[in-house]
Amino acid sequence: MQKASVLQFLLIFTLLPISLFVGCSEETETPKVAAQLLQLTALRVGTSDLLLNPDIPQPTNKKIILGFSSPIDVAIPSASITLVEVDAAPVALIFSFLDDNKTISLSYVGSLK
């Protein structure tokens, strides 16, 4: 055997058992279950259900209702939900929380364009 081949052979058979030993260490903690995903359960404009009928025209003078599978932190929606007009002008929103913070009611002044 050549010198390089012997060195490669020794490295492979020295590192392989070490990597198997480290990789097969016994787990002391139980695997963590993934956090429950937050799901959108309702999306309505007035009484019109957008989840069931996303393609029909929606009223522009009704509240927007968002329902979730779990309670949400009331600080998050005002920082992450925005509504803009067709011309990209922002719409001022008023957030109301219902159903133990599982439902958000969005209202705005006037009607949308």
According to the model, what pLDDT value does residue 44 have? Answer: 94
| pLDDT mean across residues, the chain | 77
69 and 100 Cβ atoms separated by less than 8 Å? no
Q: How far is the CA of 33 from the CAs of 25, 29, 37, 68, in angstroms?
A: 21, 12, 11, 21
Assign 54 to helix, strand or coil.
coil
What confidence tens digit (pLDDT) does each residue in 83-105 have? 888 888 888 999 999 999 999 99
Is 60 exceeded by the pLDDT of residue 50? Answer: yes
What confidence tens digit (pLDDT) does each residue in 22-47 have? 445 555 666 565 567 889 999 999 99
